[in-house]
A and B are shown apart, each in its own frame.
Chain A
Amino acid sequence: MTGSEFVPLSLVPILIGICVAVACALPGNFLLLRRQALIGDAISHVVLPGIVVAFLVTGLVASVPMLLGAAGAALVAVAAIEAIRRLGRIEPGAAMGVVFTTMFAGGVLLLEMSDTSSVHLDVEHALYGNLESLIWLDATGWSSLWDPQALAYLPVELPRMVAALVVVALFIAVFWRPLKISTFDEGFARTMGLRTGPLGLGLVVVAAVAAVAAFDAVGSIIVIAMFICPPAAARLMTNRLETQIAWSVLFATLAAVIGYVLAGYGPLWLGAQDSVSAAGMIATVSGVLVAGAALVGPARK
């Protein structure tokens, strides 16, 4: 494939896919070790009603209202999970299950009842996103990367996703030590004056930032997969947290690149006519990576 074909059609979706995968995998490592992996799942579901409500209120599919709506929904969900857990004395996993399925279903109903046919917002979009459609039409080849005019028409999802990745990575880097200590031994962390409550909440908020930013571009399926699969595969490769993070970034990147290429060209290689959903293929590849690590990973039990 030449640059004139690759840069406008595939470069941006692949970069966005990598950013999404890494931004979700980073906090996913800690969520997994804290036995909170389903929080990522919950967040990616609950943002749907928030996004739909934001659209109904503003009538726009613009990034700021959507992000605000999604963030609002995520906060409502976190509060509802806590409330159900404490008032209903229901274990956290079940409380999350109740909240995220209810809110996702509510979002789907809202979407069906409201008239969104004029805009690119439907149930399919919510599940698979539109990674393949994030093309950069103004690019003509690799040289466009240095062309301010072409760069001005870069799909807005790319800088947004890069910003989300930077937020996530900064949080993990700055609070690395407290996160590690409190994930291993929360009681001990508290005796040293670490505020484990706000720290845990911060981790969830950062995961929500990644999920919300990713939702618009790639839908909820890939978000769920990326929070869990790359960290789970990475855990099987090493017995050190630092190395596990590095492996999870590698696996996330591999899943994004291999998944995108397989979705676009795999069916053609097999003689079929159409490509398949990139988000679906990326999620599938990440699952296959976990299976591979489970079979040959050096740190498996």
Chain B
Amino acid sequence: MTITLARDKDAPTDAERRMASPLAIRGLTVSYGQKPAVFSVDMTVRAGHMTAIIGPNGAGKSTLLKAALGILKPLAGTVTVLGQPMAWQRERIAYVPQRASVDWDFPTRVIDVVLMGMYGQLGLLGRVRAKHRAQAMDCLERVGMTDFATRQIGQLSGGQQQRVFLARALAQGADLYLLDEPFAGVDAATEQAIINVLKGLRDAGKTVVAVHHDLSTVRDYFDDVFLINTQAVAEGPVATTFTQANLQTAYGGRLAGAQMDALAETLVGAGAGTGAAAR
């Protein structure tokens, strides 16, 4: 193994990578009360890729996302989108919150929720015209929900609600998609539909970042991983970063042996990967 001390002249510097990144976070610290939920986190998302944010419960995954979006006010740190402050780039960002974060009894229809994603286009008093409705229906079509356009949102199943949220994000017409646990509590068909839409976005050059809790699907769904447990643990392509060692660091031994064994197939590096190869 050789260690290169001199930097390759063609490789971008950290600063250059951050400038080009659709989401670059530096020194982000967020706290509820005394204890920081996210502490001094750096993250540089690769453009045109799908990144999973993973870590144990209470590791600050959602908090990281919300602070990056400006929903929560961080104690310290900066968030840039393509080199500019996040607040200047809002129209390039779409967000899918956790499904449970809203009241689904709210008196509104599926199509109205999707139209909410078009506030950037419509503004305060702009009229909803036929082309806006057509655009909203197109977004519903992409998640397979056109038949439900005029349903009250409270009548939907969990998976259908999640698809509507995704359709609303699509209506935002963004370059960067941030999703908070998009697969939590949805049926298999919905999970497949959502991942297909997300991969379609990625293939169209968009960037997708999702808080993800199912370690067994990380390898199939994502290109990159970001491991966090209050502090950043590791960041990089799944192939090199989604390792047993990194997971043990992130989960702090909370991942039981059995869970580790079940994951062995998909993990890279120490033990699991090489063991499988030897057999």
Q: A191 contacts B90, CB within 8 Å?
A: yes
Nearest A residue (CB) for B178 = A191
Write the nearest CB–CB distance from B189 to chain A, whole angstroms: 25
When A174-B125, A185-B116 are in contact, do A239 and B107 touch as well, CB less than 8 Å?
yes
Q: A238 contacts B69, CB within 8 Å?
A: no
Q: Which of A151-210 contact B (CB under 8 A)?
A: 174-175, 177-178, 180-181, 183-185, 187-188, 190-194
- Other-chain residue from A33, A184, A238 in contact with B116 (beta carbon distance below 8 A): A184
Confirm or deny: B259 has a beta carbon within 8 angstroms of a beta carbon on chain A.
Answer: no
Q: A241 contacts B71, CB within 8 Å?
A: no
Write the nearest CB–CB distance from A88 to chain B, whole angstroms: 14
B interface SS class: mixed
Report Cα–Cα, A276/B62, bound state, in Å.
57
Confirm or deny: A45 has a beta carbon within 8 angstroms of a beta carbon on chain B.
Answer: no
Report Cα–Cα, A150/B20, bound state, in Å.
73
Q: Give the chain A neighbours of B125 by CB distance below 8 A.
A: 174, 177
Report Cα–Cα, A238/B105, bound state, in Å.
12
Q: Which of A107-145 contact B (CB under 8 A)?
A: none
Q: A240 contacts B66, CB within 8 Å?
A: no
Interface centre among B69, B70, B87, B119 (most CB of A within 10 A): B119
Q: Give the chain A neighbours of B120 by CB distance below 8 A.
A: 192
When A174-B124, A191-B71 are in contact, do A239 and B154 touch as well, CB less than 8 Å?
yes
Write the nearest CB–CB distance from A33 to chain B, whole angstroms: 7
Report Cα–Cα, A44/B87, bound state, in Å.
38
When A188-B97, A191-B93, A191-B95 are in contact, do A239 and B109 touch as well, CB less than 8 Å?
yes
Confirm or deny: A10 has a beta carbon within 8 angstroms of a beta carbon on chain B.
Answer: no
Give B134-158 as 1s and 0s: 1 = Cβ < 8 Å from A's Cβ atoms.
Answer: 0000000000000000001010000
On chain B, which size bracket covers the interface? 20 to 34
Q: A177 contacts B119, CB within 8 Å?
A: yes
Q: Give the chain A neighbours of B101 by CB distance below 8 A.
A: 185, 187
Confirm or deny: A286 has a beta carbon within 8 angstroms of a beta carbon on chain B.
Answer: no
Give A242-280 as 1s and 0s: 1 = Cβ < 8 Å from B's Cβ atoms.
Answer: 011000000000000000000000000000000000000
When A181-B119, A184-B113, A239-B152 are in contact, do A190 and B71 touch as well, CB less than 8 Å?
yes
Q: Give the chain B neighbours of A239 by CB distance below 8 A.
A: 107-109, 152, 154
Report Cα–Cα, A180/B112, bound state, in Å.
10
Binding site for B on A (CB under 8 A): 33, 174-175, 177-178, 180-181, 183-185, 187-188, 190-194, 235, 238-241, 243-244, 299
A sample of 6 cross-chain residue pairs with beta-carbon separation below 8 angstroms, ordered by A number, consists of A177-B122, A184-B102, A190-B70, A190-B71, A191-B95, A241-B106
